[in-house]
Structure 1
Amino acid sequence: MSSVQKKTDVILIGAGVMSATLGSLLKELEPDWEITVFEKLANAGEESSNEWNNAGTGHSALCELNYTSEKADGSIDISKAIKINEQFQLSRQFWSYLVNNNLINKPEDFIKPLPHISLVHGEENALFLKKRFEALSQTPLFEGMEYTEDDDKLKEWLPLIMEGRTGNEKKAATKIDSGTDVNFGALTRRMFEHLESTDVVVNYKHSVEDIKRTSDGSWEVKVHDIDNGKIEYHTAKFVFIGGGGGSLPLLQKTGIPESKHIGGFPVSGLFMVCNNPEVVEQHHAKVYGKAKVGAPPMSVPHLDTRYIGNKKTLLFGPFAGFSPKFLKTGSNLDLIGSVKPNNLVTMLSAGIKEMKLTKYLIQQVMLSDEKRLEELREFIPNARAEDWDIVVAGQRVQVIKDTEGGKGTLQFGTEVVSAADGSVAALLGASPGASTAVHVMIDLLGRCFPQEMKGWGEKIKEMIPSYGVSLVDNPQLFHEVHASTAETLGLSEKKEPVYS
């Protein structure tokens, strides 16, 4: 078995939306830098970024109830919702920059306008939703949101969900038309096509086996060329580990202090997909409900219109499950292999703390097709089994780490772990993930290239006009960027924005 040795400036591991975003940013900021990408699979965007492996929601807290919480005094904390919405606006601006500069084309292939709706049942939940609506409506980011408890209005918004519904239980919903459906797989592939046209070397079917520091402070990556069996060694001053669930084992191989006391807990998922076009046509929205007690935030039930391959379809889920694999294409030994002496206590502590979650996942794994159909009928009372198929969604690896809240705390967000000198960074975690990729990668640049960032500021502002500015405090700027990105990305009727 022969080996090859090569040098490059930047190595990106994994051809998902995060590497695509970081690579695209770096190519605009430093066109002369050499970038090399390694992807284990045959194409870009095949794992977590793939359109069948995530919900495709442009996560901006328009309908996701887990981003707003009720405080002890009964008021609603909307700070997280604002933060996530602002982060999604950065993504819209960067995608618009890429389209406007002909770096990617046909935005209608990866993003479409779609109403986002929150739907709840019962007096208590309706009160929460109304308070949430009132709090969010006071900010420019959520302008245009409507609230209703009226059955006729609900039938207008949600004909498929309201048809055949009996009983007098109170129902309430909010609707906002500025939501989006995003095909992150198509977006990722489009960005990699652009990168390859700029001489970025993308190596598919190349699996990264090891990563270690060299004597001069660079990183050497050991790569297995799957097709011909060769081992290659590539060195770079900066390495980004963006391999989805596969990032944690590679981060551990770096041996950096920041990689210690971190574990991963894999959660798998299933979606039900409608195969009846007549049913698909009766629904046009992403409708999010409330998570059941003990369920992780990413298991909030939702009924989603999706556009996959420019074909309209309908998905319901997700149903959580458990698999020891860290990737759909991973190994059943992934979880046990990630347990090290330095994170054993962290992992065990999480196991003790998260008994409710464990119980919930076991219940989900044991669900029969009939039980899944029952859950679907909570959304669509007239749902018929023959109209729906099951698809396996992507694997998510939730971060477990020691925090102020104690050892072994399960994290539900997206996290960047980087070395103190900024020479290596890894992306861990799950939702809101892809939707906020631009914010996450700009944050990573600030951590890993603090010196260069001083000179990059002007270019970043050109690409992302609201960079470094609070949109909630600058309604005028928000309206400007929201209107301009809507026009570029084909998300709105062509009309003049209204300023408040």
Structure 2
Amino acid sequence: MSNRETKTDVILIGAGVMSATLGTLLKELVPDWNITVFEKLGKAGEESSNEWNNAGTGHAALCELNYTVEKPDGSVDISKAIQINEQFQVSMQFWSYLVNSKLIKDPKDFIRSLPHMSLVQGEENVTFLKKRFKALSDNPLFEGMEFSENPAKLMEWIPLVMQDRSWNEPIAATKIDSGTDVNFGALTRMLFEHLESKNVEINYNHSVKDLKRTNDGQWELKVQNGNGTVERHTAKFVFVGGGGGSLHLLQKSGIPEGKHIGGFPVSGIFMVCNNPDVVELHNAKVYGKAKVGAPPMSVPHLDTRYIDNKKSLLFGPFAGFSPKFLKTGSMLDLVTSVKSHNLLTMLSAGAKEMALTKYLIQQVLLSKEQRMEELREFIPGANSEDWDLVVAGQRVQVIKDTEAGGKGTLQFGTEVITAADGSIAALLGASPGASTAVQVMLEVMKKCFPQHVDEWEPKIREMIPSYGASLMENPELLRDIHASTAKALALKTEKELAYH
């Protein structure tokens, strides 16, 4: 065992986009705090944040149908869409601040304008999309959204999707040009480069094995370095941002808030187009409707992506199952996450989610040709030889007991578990995740550093002008922010979008 023992103000576990965001916010607010990062892999942004392990969608609820639910009376509930859009605007403001402050050099290296579209087939789905369009387009957050069921207009919008299509059922789409493609891997790496320049100690190939409270209320971490030796590090505050690895560390912390929580891992597979001529024919993120029994993160979508400044085309995700909680995790992750306190919660979820289990088994057994058949619902003329499979990241869906869903309810979303005294916080869950990272980390800071929030507020407002305000209720502020973020991030402005 190494004799190395260090004391620091803040420890961030995991070098993903969440830790990068929290570290950057804290360094702007309290530059003199000492921050240490531990990452078990060799560099930043290699798991969920990596550009090949997520969809690269700037989630603002512009095209994702699972954020707008049809209620029993036939109306469409857009409350979740509003919440996610507002949260994405917060991220955009913070990223703009980083660019304007020269902390990030070229925004094109991580974000680009890209139309977001929803596409549905069948009379019932077209009726739903029409209602959704009406509900959203009345809201200033979704200004500029268009709806069409005219084949000629759709051919103009999405030629690759419309060519070779038979017209045996109604088809419709919505389109909004203010959508974005975001390379969260590139953003994560930029933020960690910046943190390193600010004397944040970043330790790669360091795996956190255990953590416990000390008598004076701090946290002591047992960390194994790349040589296999174990070090001890103490901090006043710990953020567990280890993606799927967060649940095990939360359990080891022993905090009561971490009890009765389980995790269910779902893996993803995308198809990537290797034919540049096909890639050139498509320029949008086009989201469809999830199949019955499919989890929300398995909504099929056909995405233009920009990775390493190269245009790519991906389709998916196809859901899969692996007991690993991380892509680089252990086959024992799921089994070892079951404890006496969450056993009943996990068993209840298993009984409730038989349809999901059946769906995942079916997805795992799909052949490439069967996957191609699903792709052909989007691109009727797709050729198998133009497409390859790429395995995306693992997502651990949170299972917990809720009032609404009862024992063992599967949660689809991003969850933060915080100790009552605010000394530790752990991030669990999946989409919209990275897109809402800034809002999520602001909430972590409010809960964990309540004594500092008032003194930090002026600086937070400088970084995020809309802080504490609802953009939906302040259309003028919303317009100002759209204009300033578009300028800073080199995105299309409102005027350009209107002209287009």
Shorter-normalised TM range? over 0.9
Give me the whole-angstrom Cα distance separating, in 2, the residues matched to 1:190 and 1:178.
24
Give me the whole-angstrom Cα distance separating, in 2, the residues matched to 1:398 and 1:237.
29
Structure 2 counterpart of 1:67, which letter?
Answer: Y
Give me the whole-angstrom Cα distance separating, in 2, the residues matched to 1:114 and 1:144.
14
Say if 2:177 and 2:497, in contact at 8 Å, map to a contact too. Answer: no
Say if 2:119 and 2:288, in contact at 8 Å, map to a contact too. Answer: yes
Give me the whole-angstrom Cα distance separating, in 2, the residues matched to 1:493 and 1:95.
16
1:494: how far off? Answer: 8.4
Say if 1:479 and 1:497, in contact at 8 Å, map to a contact too. Answer: no
Say if 1:147 and 1:172, in contact at 8 Å, map to a contact too. Answer: yes
1:204 aligned partner: 204
1:167 aligned partner: 167
Give me the whole-angstrom Cα distance separating, in 2, the residues matched to 1:400 and 1:237.
29
Unpaired runs of 5+ in structure 1? Answer: none
1:257 aligned partner: 256
1:125 aligned partner: 125
1:391 aligned partner: 390
1:496: how far off? Answer: 8.8
Give me the whole-angstrom Cα distance separating, in 2, the residues matched to 1:442 and 1:340.
31
1:70 aligned partner: 70
Say if 2:178 and 2:497, in contact at 8 Å, map to a contact too. Answer: no
Say if 2:247 and 2:428, in contact at 8 Å, map to a contact too. Answer: yes
Say if 1:44 and 1:189, in contact at 8 Å, map to a contact too. Answer: yes
2:428 aligned partner: 428
1:493: how far off? Answer: 4.7
- For residues 445-469 of structure 1, what are the alpha-carbon distances to aligned partners after superposition, in whole Å with 9 as ceiling and x for unaligned? 0111111111111111110011110
TM-score computed with the length of structure 1 as normaliser: 0.98
Say if 2:271 and 2:316, in contact at 8 Å, map to a contact too. Answer: yes
Task: Verify: 1:36 aligned to 2:32, yes or no.
Answer: no
Partner SS state of residue 420, structure 2: coil
1:19 aligned partner: 19
1:229: how far off? Answer: 1.9
Task: Verify: 1:300 aligned to 2:299, yes or no.
Answer: yes
Partner SS state of residue 352, structure 1: helix
Unpaired runs of 5+ in structure 2? Answer: none
1:4: how far off? Answer: 1.1
Say if 1:3 and 1:230, in contact at 8 Å, map to a contact too. Answer: no
Say if 2:13 and 2:240, in contact at 8 Å, map to a contact too. Answer: yes
C-alpha distance 496-334 of structure 1, shift in aligned 2 (>3 A): closer
Give me the whole-angstrom Cα distance separating, in 2, the residues matched to 1:184 and 1:2.
35
TM-score computed with the length of structure 2 as normaliser: 0.98
1:51 aligned partner: 51
2:244 aligned partner: 245
1:187 aligned partner: 187
- For residues 296-326 of structure 1, what are the alpha-carbon distances to aligned partners after superposition, in whole Å with 9 as ceiling and x for unaligned? 0000000000000010000000000000000
Task: Verify: 1:347 aligned to 2:383, yes or no.
Answer: no
Structure 1 counterpart of 2:228, which letter?
Answer: G
Partner SS state of residue 393, structure 2: coil
Partner SS state of residue 4, structure 2: strand
1:323 aligned partner: 322
Give me the whole-angstrom Cα distance separating, in 1, the residues matched to 2:493 and 2:218.
50
2:146 aligned partner: 146
1:406: how far off? Answer: 0.6
Q: Percent identity?
A: 76
1:3: how far off? Answer: 3.3
Give me the whole-angstrom Cα distance separating, in 2, the residues matched to 1:371 and 1:4.
54
Say if 2:112 and 2:182, in contact at 8 Å, map to a contact too. Answer: yes
RMSD over aligned Cα atoms:
1.0
1:235 aligned partner: 234
Task: Verify: 1:105 aligned to 2:111, yes or no.
Answer: no
2:85 aligned partner: 85
Structure 2 counterpart of 1:333, which letter?
Answer: L
Structure 2 counterpart of 1:285, which letter?
Answer: A
Give me the whole-angstrom Cα distance separating, in 1, the residues matched to 2:493 and 2:90.
21
The ranges of structure 1 where at least 4 consecutive aligned residues each deviate by more than 6 angstroms after the TM superposition are none
Say if 1:181 and 1:306, in contact at 8 Å, map to a contact too. Answer: yes
Give me the whole-angstrom Cα distance separating, in 2, the residues matched to 1:128 and 1:309.
37
Say if 1:483 and 1:497, in contact at 8 Å, map to a contact too. Answer: no
Structure 1 counterpart of 2:300, which letter?
Answer: P
1:2: how far off? Answer: 2.6
Partner SS state of residue 212, structure 1: strand
1:73: how far off? Answer: 1.3
2:473 aligned partner: 473
C-alpha distance 223-382 of structure 1, shift in aligned 2 (>3 A): same
Correspondences of 1:474-489 after superposition (within 5 Å): 474-489=474-489
Structure 2 counterpart of 1:232, which letter?
Answer: E
1:17: how far off? Answer: 0.1
1:497: how far off? Answer: 9.9
1:495: how far off? Answer: 4.5
Say if 2:483 and 2:494, in contact at 8 Å, map to a contact too. Answer: no
Partner SS state of residue 52, structure 1: coil
1:378 aligned partner: 377
- For residues 101-130 of structure 1, what are the alpha-carbon distances to aligned partners after superposition, in whole Å with 9 as ceiling and x for unaligned? 011111000000000000000111001000
1:38: how far off? Answer: 0.2
Give me the whole-angstrom Cα distance separating, in 2, the residues matched to 1:350 and 1:120.
31
- For residues 10-48 of structure 1, what are the alpha-carbon distances to aligned partners after superposition, in whole Å with 9 as ceiling and x for unaligned? 000000000000000000110000000000001100000
1:269 aligned partner: 268
1:71: how far off? Answer: 1.1
- For residues 392-421 of structure 1, what are the alpha-carbon distances to aligned partners after superposition, in whole Å with 9 as ceiling and x for unaligned? 000000000011021000000100001000
1:314 aligned partner: 313
1:335 aligned partner: 334
- For residues 39-88 of structure 1, what are the alpha-carbon distances to aligned partners after superposition, in whole Å with 9 as ceiling and x for unaligned? 00011000000000000000000000000011111111111000000000
Task: Verify: 1:288 aligned to 2:271, yes or no.
Answer: no
How many residue pairs match? The answer is 497
Give me the whole-angstrom Cα distance separating, in 2, the residues matched to 1:367 and 1:495.
46
Partner SS state of residue 267, structure 2: strand
Give me the whole-angstrom Cα distance separating, in 2, the residues matched to 1:144 and 1:324.
43
Give me the whole-angstrom Cα distance separating, in 2, the residues matched to 1:497 and 1:144.
8
1:230: how far off? Answer: 1.7
Structure 1 counterpart of 2:192, which letter?
Answer: F
Say if 1:220 and 1:234, in contact at 8 Å, map to a contact too. Answer: yes
Partner SS state of residue 124, structure 1: helix
Say if 1:414 and 1:430, in contact at 8 Å, map to a contact too. Answer: yes
Give me the whole-angstrom Cα distance separating, in 1, the residues matched to 2:165 and 2:7.
64
Structure 2 counterpart of 1:165, which letter?
Answer: R
1:168: how far off? Answer: 2.3
Give me the whole-angstrom Cα distance separating, in 1, the residues matched to 2:427 and 2:309.
30
Task: Verify: 1:415 aligned to 2:415, yes or no.
Answer: yes
